[in-house]
Amino acid sequence: MSQAVVILSPSSEPKALEAVFRLFDTPQLQELGDGWKQISGKLVSSFADAKAECDSISGQETLDCNCLKYESFSTNKKLVVFDMDSTLIQQECIDEIAAEAGIQKEVSTITSLAMNGEIDFQESLRRRVSLLEGLSVDVIDKIIAKITFTPGAKELCRVLKKLGATLVVASGGFIPMANYVKEQLGLDYAYANMLEYSHDGKYLNGKVQGAIVDGQRKAEILRQKKAELGLDVVETMAVGDGANDLIMMGESGLGVAYNAKPKVQLMASSKINQTSLQNVLYLLGINKSEQERLLA
């Protein structure tokens, strides 16, 4: 049987740990800090069966129980591609723009349908942007000023950079916000959609300029950067929360669904349902003391 690693989030329920132990021939337990646990060893059944059991434990105990292939877990991640809205930052930027225009309800409804995979992302983006026609471009700076980074985002990026990773934000949002996030977090690349302006440059004209950054494009960005850096798939990681992040997650060595929509959690290779994005580091086996050393 194959080697695997289970990362278990803090829990006061001993049955969860007991259930994880039963997945292994001779389980080895390592305390990662803050209640996080790493259990590794040779599985007594298939990896698919072990992952299904971990998913079941997660559902029953309201904790994160992630079963990871040992090869993916043990390989340093040299390329990490992040979603932006509701991942690196706490806002959905188009919803914030819509709020300024007084059409938040209409736009949020379309956003929810897109993130749950109920309508095509490109169609949804065009529909939402069309509702912004005539809005002053000053709204962009207003939204940037409101951006709130997800707890742990800065720490996660600092640690990954110190470990030598190339960091990318690939967003279905908009390039001014993505560039701001790139600068603030010290990322290497930013990809997002470009809003078209009126001829005098004062207003949004309700259209998107150029190709839309959708799920396929995010995956292309991951593949492109992987090839440029000469990396293997297992050296890559993708982190996001929406249905349009699933393709890049599936093509990465480790896909992480962060506080994601239910459909995304079911399909992603791992999930984190915690307040701090820094907890992603536990999925890489980086314990608390090592995190503190790298952040010092």
Known catalytic residues are: 83, 85
- Residue 262 sits at the vertex; the CA angle it makes with 67 and 248, to the nearest 5 degrees, is 65
User: Residue 44 carries which side chain, given as an amino acid letter?
Assistant: V
Dist CA 213 CA 192 (whole Å): 6
Q: Are 124 and 65 in contact (CB under 8 A)?
A: no
Are 38 and 7 a contacting pair, CB within 8 Å?
A: yes
CA pair distance 149, 156, nearest whole angstrom: 12
253 contacts 284 by C-beta, under 8 angstroms? no
Beta bridge partners of 246: none
Helix, coil or strand: residue 39:
strand
116, 103 Cβ separation under 8 angstroms: no
Q: List strand residue ranges (DSSP E) for 97-197, in order.
A: 166-174, 189-197
**Cα of 200 vs its chain's centroid, Å:** 37
Asked if 173 contacts 89 with a C-beta cutoff of 8 angstroms, the reply is no
DSSP assignment of 84-100, as one string?
A: TBTTTBS--HHHHHHHH
CB 137, CB 204: distance < 8 Å: yes
C-alpha span between 198 and 84 (Å, rounded): 26
